[in-house]
Amino acid sequence: MAEELPDSPDLSNQRVAGYRIIHRLGRGGMADVYLAFQENLHRHVAMKVLRRDFVDSADHQQRFLQEARHAAALVHPNIVQVFDIGHANGIHYIAQEYIPGNTLGAFIEKQKCLGLRESLSILIQAASALHRAAQEGVVHRDIKPENILLTSEGVAKVADFGLARARSNENHLTAIGVAMGTPLYMSPEQIQGTAVDQRSDLYSLGVTAYHMLAGSPPFTGETALALAMQHLQNPPPALRQKRPGLPDALYELIDRLLAKQPADRPDDAASVLRSLRDIASKLEGNWHGDSLIPLTELEVQGAVERSAPAVLLQTTLAQQKIALRNRRWKTLGIAMGSILTATGLFALFSLNSSQGLVPEPEWKVELVERKPTVREQFFHAMVQGNVAQWKAVETYFPPEQSDAFLSYNLKAWLQLARVAIAQKDFDLAQQTLDKILTREEVDPRILVLALLEKMQLDLEYNQMDQLARDRSEARRYFLSLDTQQQQWITQQIPPHLLSYWEDRNNTSG
C-alpha cells in the first residue's frame, strides 16, 4: 500500500503572484499540483507548489528550483513546457503548461492494450522528447505511462521532470528523501543505486512499450522489493507470446530496451527514434509515425472504464455557467431564508459566493469544444470519456454526411453505450445500441461488441430469451472474424458474461 502523504493546506481560490488558483489536481512526493489561471495572459496553467512540510528545507527548495530550471530548458512539442518559477507569501511554485487530456496510464487502463500504430506514434513522440532531454544532458529518471500525457489533439507529452537531473556535480540532490523512479518501470541500475544515463530512461520506455502492447507491464509483484528483484534477475515474459502479429523488428527493439545491462541497450534515444520510424515506414501506407496518434485498432478495441467519469474543467464558458447557477442558488437561498427565518431555519440556507452549493456536473454538448475534424473530435472524446463528449461526435459530425463520419459515429455510439451502462442509464444505452444494430454494412467487430453490451442490458432486465438470441447473433458475427480478432474480442468480455458467452445452456435460466 502506498504511504499516505502528509496533509497540506488547500490553496484553492487563492491568488498567488498573478495566478488565481482554481482547484487541486493532484499530489506528489514534493509538491501539490493545482489548476490555476494566469490573469495577465488569460491562460490556464498547472501550478506545482512545494509542499509546506518542505518549505523550510533549503535542500528541497534547491531541488525544486533545479527541477524548474532543467525542465524550462527543454523546449519541445512533446515535453510539457515550464512557463514561470517564483515564490510569494511563503509559497514556492512552478507554473507549467496545462494539458487537459489524460495520462497514457489512464488510457491503457481503458483500452487494455493499444493498436500497433497508436503505440508506435506514442513511442516515437516520447523518444523524441527523451532525445531532446539528452541534448541538454538531462535524464528523466521516472518514465512511465502516468508521466506521458495525451492531449485531445493526439499529441503525447512527457511530463514531470521532478526526478530529472543534469549530468553534473549536483548528484547529492538526488538523495534528498525522494524515491528515484517507480518500481514497475525502474531500470536495474536505478534499483542498485548506481550511476544512470539516458539508457536508464530507455529501459523505462521499453517497459512502457511492453505495457502498451501487452496490456500489462512485464513484471508485477506485491512489494517494491519483489518488483525490484524481477527487474534485476528475471527475463521479461516474451512479448511475442502475449501479443503475436507485431513486426519482428519491434519485438527485437523492445527486447534490447529491456536488457539488464545498459551496454546491451540502444546507445541513445536518437537511435531508438530511428528504429521506431523505420518500423513505422514499413507498415502499410508508407506511414512514418510522425503524425498525431492515428487511431486505427484503438477506435474499436478496448472497454471503456466502467466507472463514473471524472468531472473535468472544460472551458471558461462552463465555469461561467456554473458560476451563474451558483448565483441563482444564492438568490434562492436568500429568498428561502426570508421565508424560514420565522422558524429559526435561516442558517440552513445561508449561502455566500465562497461557500455555495456545489453544482452537479453538466454533461452538455454545447459545453464541448468543436474540433476541426471528426478524427480529432473522436480522440477528444476518447481521452475525456464522458457522455457529452461522445454525443458531440454525432452532433458536430452527423453520420449522414459522409462514410468517414458514419465510421467514427459507430465507434462513438459503442463507447457511449458503455458509459451509459456504467452509469445505469439503461434507456440511453438501449437507444444508442439500436443506432448500431439497425445500420447496414457495419464492421462485424463493432456488431459483436455492441451485442455484448446488449447482453448486459438483457441481464439487467432479466430477459433471458432475448439474451440467448443476442448471444447467438453475436456468435455468428464472431465466427466470421480471424483468429487474432477473436482473441482480443474474447479479452473484452466482462467476467460476468463469460459463462453466458461460452455455454448457450446458461441462457435458459
Are 269 and 134 in contact, with CB atoms under 8 Å apart? yes
CA dihedral 360, 364, 370, 375 (to 10 degrees): 90
Tell me the torsion sign for CA atoms 448, 454, 459, 464.
negative
Please, which residues have CB within 8 angstroms of residue 336's CB and are 6 or more apart in sequence?
A: 349
Of 500, 406, 491, residue with least CA distance to 458 = 500
| Pair 297, 112: CB distance under 8 Å | no
Residue 48's DSSP bridge partners are 33, 94
Nearest CA to 216 among 122, 300, 127, 114? Answer: 114
The region, left, alpha or beta by phi > 0 then psi within -120 to 50, assigned to residue 424 is: left
> 142 an active-site residue?
yes
Going from the C-alpha of 212 to that of each of 120, 124, 169, 328, 386, the distances in angstroms are 10, 13, 36, 47, 23
What's the burial of 278, exposed, middle or buried (CB within 10 Å: 0-12/13-18/19+)? middle
Q: What's the rounded Cα separation, in Å, for the pair 114 and 122?
A: 10
Q: Give the C-alpha separation, 148 to 158, whole Å.
A: 5
> Is the separation of the CB atoms in 227 and 219 below 8 Å?
yes
- What are the cell numbers at 102? 489524460
| Strand 138-139 versus strand 165-166 pairing type | antiparallel
β-pairing, 19-27 vs 15-16, is: antiparallel
Q: How far apart are CA 292 and CA 376, in angstroms?
A: 9
Q: Which of 142, 255, 458, 470 is catalytic?
A: 142
DSSP state string for 204-265: HHHHHHHHHHHSS-S---SSHHHHHHHHHHPPPPPHHHHSTTS-HHHHHHHHHHT-SSGGGS
Residue 207: closest CA among 155, 275, 148 = 148
CA nearest to 173, candidates 65, 49, 53? 65
Would residue 84 be called left, alpha or beta, if left means φ above 0 and alpha means ψ between -120 and 50 degrees?
beta
Catalytic residues: 142
